[in-house]
Amino acid sequence: MPRHRIGVYPGTFDPITNGHLDIIQRATHLVDHLIVGVARNDGKGPLFSTEERLHMVRTDVEVMIANSPNNGATIEVQAFDILLMHFAVQSNAGVIIRGLRAVSDFEYEFQMAGMNARLNANVETVFLMASDRHQFISSRFVKEIGRLGGDIRHFVSPRVAEALNERFAVEATNGDRSKRVQTR
């Protein structure tokens, strides 16, 4: 009987981008069950709450599955707030999936993979290179472009673009209020 391969694709996903979705889709060719782990990571000061990020990731994954050929792998989305290696072990995962966009990502990811291997040599880290059309996309750049009024529709799903635009409108309104209060 073949072994059931479980993988974890961790991230903050603040917000989830088309690049993340590409890695998720491609990771399903490597594992039988993929757990997309949404890190709580409140210390990073995310734009969206964990619950909002979970909802965005789940919605985008559901749409991706509905619109993509199914290779038989299942995908689950979970929040986590423990050490990644502990989350992987708790999830019975034998593989951690990491996406690489550029050489600058490699050094950090290489160090992280080394530390994770020291914590648990039974869990492998697999790197997937970003597709050429997604290499430049990062959540940080998407937020910056959107906050400054740029078009982000090519980088995120329509639902995520809408959520970002709504959040930026609230920020702009609150910013205007605080400026008025300070001038009085």
Quote the CA–CA distance of 76 and 11 in Å, as a whole number. 14
**Which pLDDT does position 72 carry in this prediction?**
83
pLDDT digits (tens, 9 = 90+) for 34-45: 999 999 977 778
Phi, psi for 135 (deg, rounded to 5): -60, -30
pLDDT digits (tens, 9 = 90+) for 70-107: 678 999 999 999 999 999 999 999 999 999 987 777 88
User: Residue with structure tokens 């673009």?
Assistant: 161
Domain ranges within the chain, ordered by starting residue: 6-135
**18-27 helix and 50-67 helix, angle to the nearest 10 degrees:** 60
Q: Choose, from 4, 29, 44, 86, the residue flagged as catalytic.
A: 44
55 CA to centre of own chain: 12
Quote the CA–CA distance of 181 and 184 in Å, as a whole number. 6
**Which pLDDT does position 2 carry in this prediction?**
54
Q: Is 139 a catalytic residue?
A: yes
Quote the CA–CA distance of 73 and 64 in Å, as a whole number. 13
At 26 the three-state DSSP class reads helix
CATH number among 3.40.50.300, 3.30.420.40, 3.40.50.620, 3.20.20.70, domain 6-135: 3.40.50.620
8 CA to centre of own chain: 11
Q: Is 44 a catalytic residue?
A: yes
User: Residue with structure tokens 């000061």?
Assistant: 45
Q: 140: buried, middle or exposed (CB in 10 Å: 19+, 13-18, 0-12)?
A: exposed
Q: Which of 27, 12, 7 is nearest to 81 (CA)?
A: 12
At 6 the three-state DSSP class reads strand
Q: Choose, from 98, 138, 139, 143, the residue flagged as catalytic.
A: 139
176 — pLDDT class (breaks 50, 70, 90): low
User: Residue with structure tokens 């997309």?
Assistant: 36
Q: Choose, from 101, 153, 159, 167, the residue flagged as catalytic.
A: 101
pLDDT exceeding 70 applies to what percent of the chain? 92
Helix-then-strand count for the chain, H and E: 6, 5
Quote the CA–CA distance of 80 and 87 in Å, as a whole number. 7
* Residues 36, 61, 159, 101, CA torsion sign: positive
**Which pLDDT does position 3 carry in this prediction?**
62
Say which residue, 173 or 24, is predicted with more confidence. Answer: 24
